[in-house]
Chains A and B, each alone.
Chain A
């Protein structure tokens, strides 16, 4: 059996709002990484288009690291020259090295004799400055070369990573516009949002932070190991024992700190959502007298976060001192053993010096690689979630030989249409309907009756399960979606404005609209009226959450947008639900002008809105239960008449006997 390639990730906890930009990259969301290997490979493969640059990067990194790794070795030779000079000058001139050694040994200084035998000296001569200058110039050249190549490598890698991220973001956006609407319905909006924002950011960060460091760190480790072994086998082996031992300790600490970090983010999440909830429901908290309770809950959560945060910070703070200690330990061992060997003449002082430098430089990249592992795992998990989106099934592409309705008249026919969002929950079953050109069709019925679904099917937001819908006799499934949709103007219940000026938001209906066309649409839909009370007029910036205009005013802007689009078919889904009735009446007059000649579908709760429709459809449970104009339906005294009557008297409801229990007590 082969070892499992998958790396199971423990639960990931969502970081605080807006986090995930810090060095710890904690913006990822709860999800398990199923396949570390394949996703990581796939992420690497995305660098594909930049192969020449990637090769240049690898060459530059190799060169830079090898130059800088040679530095201490050569610098050690400089120390040797100085040492030789320093010792040499203490010996009488004219003596040979051999004589000096014999001399030392005979006078009982066996140790010094050993030392001298390992030093390349000329008795009586001081430091050889020419040789020193040559060596130092070489070192200088090595370091400058290494720095330049290192910069080149970082520079190129940055370009590669940024372009890779750019392409990936573009792909994500393109994908969003290609997946069917069902994909959006199938998951909470926040989930998808976090995939395209948090996860994408996390991938970008991981690539930026790890690629360069992992590459240079791994190379540095390899080169330094080589250098250490080339200087002294035995010392290198000692270093190789202490360092992994230290690494094992550090890894244990890191594992602890990771679980504590997870705990910290869980607590942060809990506290943040409590804060969010309290502040958003601030008025309720006050009026329902829950301030004290909310403060108590906060205190508890805050205290828990404090404890969790302390644990995380303490454990992660341990890593640096521990690594420093290991470094120091190494330093001591090498200083002692190296010292012993220099005095025994089997090693030069410069070599010990170089070895100390190498062993100090060794711990740093090792720590770095170890700390990158977490970041890499979270980055790959995020990448996987982005890939999941990129792999999502796309909308069936439009047929090449799509049918085109040249000049639409607006005759819409639904022929035994069936549709359900979920396999086992029927929504619209065997529905047939014919709408003649220019007719206004109103759809009424309780929530969940399928009113919005019906118009969505006409827009071809969803594909039918059975039956067909035709526009002027052409099956809409055979038309290009863009062709179909560009002939329909739709105003939705949920108003949507993008961040931009009011002018831009109206112009969304017709991208090449002239100023006077925009103004005309704005006047017709009464947008003009409230725009004048805004300080910046049409240049006022609005967005989806914008509090500077009311819900009703937002609706008016979206109506103006549809008005400007001047479509052949009009769909109004609760388009004026937030507009006060007097304004609505005025808008209706404008809309009426727009609706003549056009087939329109109107969904409304307010029956006054639809009284004058040519056909009123009463829907219940996905079926049309009544159909006719206002007078006919009133005369029929059915469901519609009941609804209409309710406006004046309210239907009769039996009162359950439990009610008096809740009545305000007599006082």
Chain B
């Protein structure tokens, strides 16, 4: 997946990559040329006592250094551009893919997982590309070039390279392969330690209420010791790595001098070549070291790429027709014809054979126990899911035949979990309708029973709202979410248990205020409280995905035992 992903996203930057490779090549050749020039200084300048030659070659060395830095800096420039561009493009592709998902796919991955994939995983891949372009491309060039130059200086000593390179590569490889699993479990255990702390902070009241501080201390202590144990093991390997590298490098130098001395004595080699050979060997070994470290990044980036690929390969289950119905207006009449819904792979359906009609100007309430399928039913209307059987129709047209924007413009949905966006009260309401005036915003707040607390906020409708709406209470959040739906002036209102966090008095006031506004609209309310549904024009009682009863409060009290039970449980709670 990593290779596929990179091939696809690197393609647009092919020219840049060639520039990087060329520049790195020139830069590396330049830096390889320096020891050779130094050898020249020794053999032809120092030994012969030619001062002019020394200065001449010295100037050339200076020139080569300048060429080298110019090449490397330009290479870094294009390398960074390409790497960051790849990151940007992958991020964008992921984001657009997820944006096209239906709620079903989002639920399947889970929003937090999608967020990590779109942020951290992309960063891993981006980091790999960056390191490759700025350093990794140079390493093999350096290795091959170093070997060639070393051979040029003296073929007789080349066997030393053949010994030193594998020795260094295998020792580093061995240590690193020991460290990687350690790092992995270190990360896991660090997550556990942080998780325990997180739980302690969130659950502090429960912990204190049950006097479980000693228990928690023990739980944390165990996690902390686990983490320390593995950190110590990894740290010890880490402590070994640098001394080992230096040892291999230094022993190699000693060997070069010893065997080189033999060749010089035999007249097969000049002393300057020996010095150069030494420099090349060091450069080759450094390149080997870098490559080995780079290889370590590969598996991590590869895992990330797989996680990214999973998302990219997922196709949304809700496909919007290209030439969908665009008839706006309408009255918001909602019809369900033997609708069924089953999760892919699930044995039992969530909904089966649900049929009813919600007419404009009336209120339809849906009631039932937790897990009866109420929310799923509501989500079928704006196509957050698609019904697996039957048909959901708005204004006589199957929702699957609508142009997406047209369908959504008819609907005002207040989801079960009231979610607000970062911004202000006003910006959250304008999420419902961008061109809403301040007066309209206040009107919507009045109806949603939110005007009072918004007025008390320091800056009224311009008061800030934190991400998710965490700076207002649950009840306030719900009321703002209702106001956001109201301001859209839709033909079809869908309230998914939207009054649950309100106290009964506020609930009642809100629904009374709602009546004139929704006079001409179709209203569907999912509710837990009987009190919320009693005056509905029609009540749908859901039980295990079936319609167990359909009618008004009075009718159902007599005809539907399930409904009667629910009413009983709420109005005549008999505890004794």
When the two chains form the complex, which single residue of A196, A545, A659 contacts B517, counting CB atoms closer than 8 Å? A659
A139 to B246, CA, bound (A): 13
Q: How far is the CA of A174 from the CA of B274 in the complex (A)?
A: 63
Closest CB pairs A-B (n = 9): A111-B49, A154-B239, A650-B508, A158-B235, A336-B58, A496-B203, A317-B76, A321-B72, A147-B243
A33, CB-defined interface residue at 8 Å: no
Q: Which residues of B contact A115 (CB under 8 A)?
A: 46-47, 49
Residues of A within 8 A of B530 (CB): 581
CB of B296 within 8 Å of the partner chain: no
A298 on interface, CB distance cutoff 8 Å: yes
Chain A binder among B2-10, B150-158, B205-213, B350-358: B205-213
Known: A127-B265, A287-B413, A317-B134. A662 touches B517 (CB 8 A): yes
User: How far is it, in angstroms, between the C-alpha of A114 and the C-alpha of B34 when the chains are bound?
Assistant: 27
Within 8 A of A (CB), among B365-398: 369-371, 379, 382-384
Q: How far is the CB of A633 from chain B (nearest CB, A)?
A: 15
Asked if A144 is an interface residue, CB under 8 A from chain B, the answer is yes
The distance from the CB of A365 to the nearest CB of chain B, in whole angstroms, is 12
The answer to whether A303 and B88 touch across the interface, beta carbons within 8 angstroms, is yes
- CB of A18 within 8 A of CB of B83, answer no
Task: Decide if B250 touches A71 in the complex (CB within 8 Å).
Answer: yes
Q: B224 contacts which of A170, A275, A482, A648 (Cβ < 8 Å)?
A: A170
Is A99 engaged at the interface, CB distance under 8 Å to the other chain? no
Q: Contact: B576 with A661, CB < 8 Å? A: no
Given known A588-B573, A608-B573, A651-B509, contact A343–B261 (CB-CB < 8 A):
no
Q: Cβ of B238 and Cβ of A158 under 8 Å apart?
A: yes
A–B Cβ pairs within 8 angstroms, 25 of them: A75-B257, A86-B270, A129-B265, A143-B246, A173-B197, A208-B231, A208-B235, A280-B468, A282-B103, A286-B383, A287-B413, A305-B88, A314-B81, A318-B73, A321-B69, A328-B69, A492-B205, A508-B210, A544-B202, A585-B569, A643-B504, A647-B531, A658-B443, A661-B440, A664-B332
Cα–Cα distance between A56 and B106 once the two chains are bound (Å):
56
* A302 close to chain B: CB less than 8 A: yes
**A511 pairs with B215, CB closer than 8 A:** yes
Most chain A CB atoms below 10 A, which of B92, B119, B231, B446: B119
| B250 & A275 in contact (Cβ 8 Å cutoff) | no
B310 interface residue, CB < 8 Å from A? no
Q: Is the CB of B217 within 8 A of A659?
A: no
B431 contact set on A, CB distance < 8 A: 284, 288, 290
**From B64, which residue of chain A is reached at the shortest CB distance?**
A328
Q: Report Cα–Cα, A140/B3, bound state, in Å.
A: 44
The answer to whether A544 touches B199 (Cβ under 8 A) is: yes
How many angstroms between the C-alpha atoms of A381 and B146 in the bound complex? 44
Question: Is A166 positioned at the interface, with any CB of B under 8 Å from its CB?
Answer: yes
- Cβ of B330 under 8 Å from chain A: yes
- Give me 19 other A-B pairs in contact (C-beta within 8 A), A82-B271, A143-B251 excluded: A71-B250, A85-B261, A109-B49, A111-B49, A133-B258, A146-B243, A162-B235, A271-B91, A284-B419, A288-B484, A299-B92, A310-B80, A313-B84, A321-B76, A343-B45, A584-B569, A589-B575, A646-B507, A662-B444
What are the residues of chain B within 8 A of A320 when measuring CB–CB?
A: 72
Q: Which residue of chain A is the closest to B27 with respect to CB atoms?
A: A321
Residues of A contacting B41 in the complex (Cβ-Cβ under 8 angstroms): 335-336, 339
Q: Which residues of B contact A343 (CB under 8 A)?
A: 45-46, 49-51, 54
B57 to chain A, nearest CB (A): 8
**Using an 8 Å CB-CB cutoff, how does the interface string of B60-72 with A read, 1 for contact, 0 for none?**
0110010011001
Do A177 and B520 form a contact, CB below 8 Å, given A83-B271, A85-B265? Answer: no
Q: Is the CB of B217 within 8 A of A177?
A: yes
Q: Tell me the chain B residues, 88-143 only, with Cβ under 8 Å from chain A.
A: 88, 91-92, 95-96, 98-103, 106, 110-112, 114-116, 118-120, 123, 127, 130, 134
Q: Which listed residue (B49, B444, B570) contacts A581, Cβ 8 A?
A: B570
Q: Does A325 belong to the interface (CB within 8 Å)?
A: yes
Does A155 make an interface contact (CB < 8 A)? yes
Type the 1/0 row for A333-344, where 1 means its CB is closer than 8 Å to any CB of B: 101100110110
Is the CB–CB distance between B369 and A582 below 8 Å?
yes
Which chain A residues lie closer than 8 Å to B114 at the CB level? 279
A268-294 contact mask (Cβ, 8 Å, vs B): 1 or 0: 100111011111111111111111001
Report the stretch among A6-14, A226-234, A402-410, A483-491 that lies at the interface: A483-491
What is the chain B residue whose CB lies nearest that of A511? B215
Contact, CB under 8 Å: B210 / A485: yes
| Nearest A residue to B487, CB-CB | A662
Contact yes or no, B264 A86, CB < 8 A = yes
A384 contacts chain B at the CB level, 8 A cutoff: no
Contacting pair B421 A277 (CB below 8 A): yes
Bound form: Cα–Cα A314–B50 in Å: 43
Distance A161 CA – B264 CA, assembled complex (angstroms): 50
Say yes or no: A165-B228 contact (C-beta < 8 A), given A287-B413, A336-B41, A656-B446. yes
A518-573 interface (Cβ within 8 A of B): 543-545, 547, 550, 552-553, 558, 561, 565
Complex Cα distance A608/B251, Å? Answer: 85
Which one of B160-168, B188-196, B335-343 contacts A? B188-196
Known: A154-B242, A288-B431. A482 touches B520 (CB 8 A): no
State in angstroms the CA–CA spacing of A396 and B556 once bound together. Answer: 59
In the bound complex, how far is the Cα of B99 from the Cα of A294, in angstroms? 9
Q: Is the CB of A662 within 8 A of B505?
A: no
Q: Does B549 contact A (CB under 8 A)?
A: no
Contact between A581 and B76, CB atoms less than 8 A apart: no
Do residues B228 and A162 form an inter-chain contact, with CB atoms below 8 A?
yes
Nearest CB in chain A to that of B79: its residue: A317
Whether the Cβ atoms of B54 and A313 lie closer than 8 Å is no
- A19 in the interface, Cβ–Cβ < 8 Å? yes
A646 near B505: Cβ-Cβ < 8 Å: yes
Closest residue of chain A to B530 (Cβ to Cβ) is A581
B208 / chain A contacts, CB cutoff of 8 Å: 181, 459, 461, 481, 485
Please tell me if the beta carbons of B115 and A663 are within 8 angstroms of each other in the complex. no
Q: Is B315 an interface residue (CB 8 A)?
A: no
The reply to whether the CB of A169 lies closer than 8 angstroms to some CB of chain B is: yes
Q: Are B443 and A662 in contact (CB under 8 A)?
A: yes
Question: Are B217 and A608 in contact, CB atoms less than 8 angstroms apart?
Answer: no
Q: How far is the CA of A163 from the CA of B232 in the complex (A)?
A: 9
**When A289-B408, A580-B370 are in contact, do A653 and B512 touch as well, CB less than 8 Å?**
yes
Which residues from chain A contact B415 at a C-beta distance below 8 Å? 283-284
Interchain CB contact under 8 A, B467 and A273: yes
Asked whether any CB of chain B lies closer than 8 Å to the CB of A642, the reply is: yes
The residues of A that contact B202 with a CB separation of less than 8 Å are 189, 496, 544
Cβ < 8 Å to A, chain B residues 436-468:
439-440, 442-444, 446-447, 467-468
Residue in B62, B199, B227 whose beta carbon sits within 8 Å of that of A498 in the complex: B199
A111 touches B130 (CB 8 A): no
The answer to the question of B346 belonging to the interface, with a C-beta cut-off of 8 Å to chain A, is no
Q: Are B517 and A664 in contact (CB under 8 A)?
A: yes
A465 at interface (Cβ–Cβ under 8 A)?
no
Q: Known contacts being A86-B264, A283-B384, A550-B371, is A667 close to B331, with CB within 8 Å?
A: yes
Query: Which residues in B have their C-beta under 8 angstroms from that of A16?
Result: 119-120, 123
Q: In the complex, how many angstroms separate the beta carbon of A421 from the nearest chain B beta carbon?
A: 15
Whether A664 pairs with B228 at a CB distance below 8 angstroms is no
Q: Which of B195, B264, B404 contacts A499 (CB 8 A)?
A: B195
Chain A positions 464-494 with a Cβ under 8 Å from a chain B Cβ: 481-482, 485-486, 488-490, 492
**A387 CB within 8 Å of chain B:** no
A144 to B262, CA, bound (A): 24
B498 neighbours in A (Cβ, 8 Å): none
Q: Which residues of B contact A114 (CB under 8 A)?
A: 49
Name which residue of chain B comes closest to A592, CB basis. Answer: B575
Q: Indicate if the CB atoms of B489 and A662 lie closer than 8 Å.
A: yes
Query: Are B440 and A608 interface neighbours, CB within 8 A?
Result: no
Across the interface, A79 reaches (CB within 8 A) one of B127, B257, B488, namely B257
Q: In the bound complex, what is the Cα–Cα distance between A662 and B212 (angstroms)? A: 53
- With A279-B98, A305-B88, A335-B58 as known contacts, state yes or no: A349 contacts B42, CB within 8 Å: yes
> Contact: A161 with B235, CB < 8 Å?
yes
Which of A298, A310, A665 is the one whose CB lies under 8 Å from B95? A298
User: Closest residue to A445 on the B side, CB-wise?
Assistant: B503
